[in-house]
Amino acid sequence: MKLLVYSWFPVYADHMIGGAQQVMHDFLTGLSENGIKTTVICPQVKDKTKELLTINHINVMPVLKEFSNRPLYPYEQLSNFQWIRKLSKSVDVIWSLDFTFPIDLPQPIVLSLDNFTYKEEMESFWDFNWDTLILPSKYLFNIAKSIVDPMHKDKNQNIKMIPYAVDHKHFVRTEPLGLCKKLGIPYDDSYILFPHRPDPDKGFDLVLNLIAALAANGNPHKLLIPMNNAYKADKKYYDYLKDRAKGLSIHEQVIFTNWIDIQDLPAFYSLGCWTLAIGTFPEGFGLTPLQSICCGTPAICTKAGGLMDHLPSGHGLFYVDFFNIDQIREIIERGVSTSEIAQGRHYIKEHYSTDRFVQEHIECLRNVKKRKRDIFYCEDNNPIRISPWCHMFNDGGIWHDYYMRYVKISRKEKGIIEKISQGCREYSGTEIDTIKTLLRKGIIIGEIDE
């Protein structure tokens, strides 16, 4: 089998921003180890200081014209098509991550999506220029099925769930002294780790408030925030965070470092007391908590998107309600046993192994078949059901992943949701009006007969 990988970011040897680039790195490394000849077509490299991935059987071709703040001009898009045509002639299968493969070819196309939030990923899904779709979490799988079920029944069989992997040989407890010297920070402080790209929905404001609350409660911690200054907007956001830390009088406790490359991540995680992923962004999977636990550092996260399905209780991962600083503070002050973290590492090794991840992808790539592009249609039988991006809470409220906030519902709406969850198919006229309201809010999906 010969493979063409379509990547809309350069594939570097060590420098990775976000989970998707780590997934690409794991995937290509696995293909190399299995002797699968792979050509990677990706954008041209702007930063000449970073080395491209160079491993056996993998040929990285940085030739694509990359769109940024404007659409590609016709001659740029034509250049991309010509390169795709040239490099695809000798391959058997095409694999694309997070972006629509721009043209239909005789070879089957496998699309992997990291989330259902960003414009590019959503358009990749809706274009339906794929023969098999791979998703990393039950959360994304349920969203895809809820959309495809009434539209493309035959595609339902071609949606696969393959959870991401954590390399337990790489992510191990590592002496962090060398990294402390590299970053210029003390070795023996109590650090809370926040290794996320600069996105307000990742929970940066909340973690600053947490550091202030811990200090006020007599339990001061240092906060480590690795910076990714790839764009002017990123630098502006970090400047805002620094100003806000000063306003909270915690600027000496908040340390901004350079971005942590993959080879230093184990030492980085081993340096912390806790790793936090407490944002509202609906993650497609979320590698950070699992990597941290593998390195012996417990994690606290919200149930944002795919994060909710990671580990059972008692495995070093603690779930908290959105925006709830008191819950986070109490967990940190209570602590966690080393046995729980050890159980978490064992569970991750068993359920999120790199070998499983690679072999399941290879099997999918070997078995994918080219299918006729279907005409769009919607089935009449499209029953009302609770949206997979909405979650009920004990207080009767609903968390809406696309609003990224709690949504208050009336007693009447709550009653309708309970009837829907029980499989009811018949509703009165006033109930239908309530159902229409819930449909407009995206809390339920489907069609109602009037």
Residue-range domain boundaries for the chain: 2-165+355-367, 177-352, 385-445
359-385: burial string, b at 16+ Cβ within 10 Å, e else = ebbbebbeebeeeeeeeeeeeeeeebe
pLDDT exceeds 80 at position 11: yes
pLDDT score recorded for residue 119:
87
The β-bridge partners of 392 are 398
Give the right CATH number for 2-165+355-367 from 3.40.50.12160, 3.40.50.720, 3.30.70.1560, 3.40.50.2000.
3.40.50.2000
pLDDT exceeds 60 at position 377: no
pLDDT exceeds 70 at position 156: no
For the segment 107-123, what is each residue's pLDDT rounded down to a tens digit?
999 999 999 998 888 88
In which band, very low, low, confident or very high, does the pLDDT at 447 lie, cut at 50, 70 and 90? confident
The Cα 403–Cα 134 span in angstroms is: 25
Report the share of the chain in percent with pLDDT over 90: 67
pLDDT exceeds 70 at position 325: yes
278 within 8 A of 207, measured Cβ to Cβ: yes
pLDDT score recorded for residue 394:
65
Average pLDDT over residues 5-10: 89
In which band, very low, low, confident or very high, does the pLDDT at 389 lie, cut at 50, 70 and 90? very high
In which band, very low, low, confident or very high, does the pLDDT at 379 lie, cut at 50, 70 and 90? low
In which band, very low, low, confident or very high, does the pLDDT at 243 lie, cut at 50, 70 and 90? very high
In which band, very low, low, confident or very high, does the pLDDT at 166 lie, cut at 50, 70 and 90? very high
Average the pLDDT over each of 176-185, 325-334, 414-423 and give the range with the smallest value. 414-423
Average pLDDT over residues 230-245: 92
Select, from the ranges 226-235, 268-277, 393-402, 403-412, the one with the highest average predicted confidence (pLDDT). 268-277
For the segment 170-203, what is each residue's pLDDT rounded down to a tens digit?
999 999 999 999 999 999 899 999 999 999 999 9
Report the share of the chain in percent with pLDDT over 70: 93
The CATH code that applies to domain 177-352 is 3.40.50.2000
Nearest-CA neighbor of 96 among 114, 81, 82, 83?
114
pLDDT score recorded for residue 423:
83
Average pLDDT over residues 342-363: 95
Distance between first and last Cα of the chain:
53
pLDDT score recorded for residue 19:
73
For the segment 68-93, what is each residue's pLDDT rounded down to a tens digit?
677 888 999 999 999 999 999 999 99
pLDDT score recorded for residue 371:
82
The reply to whether 2-165+355-367 and 177-352 are identical in fold is yes
Which segments of 222-330 are extended strands (E)?
Answer: 222-227, 254-258, 274-277, 299-302, 317-320
Please report, for residues 186, 187, 268, 319, 392, the alpha-carbon distance to residue 178 in angstroms, rounded to integers and kept in the order given: 11, 9, 10, 32, 46
State the average pLDDT for the chain. 90
In which band, very low, low, confident or very high, does the pLDDT at 154 lie, cut at 50, 70 and 90? low
In which band, very low, low, confident or very high, does the pLDDT at 126 lie, cut at 50, 70 and 90? confident
pLDDT score recorded for residue 17:
65
pLDDT exceeds 80 at position 16: no
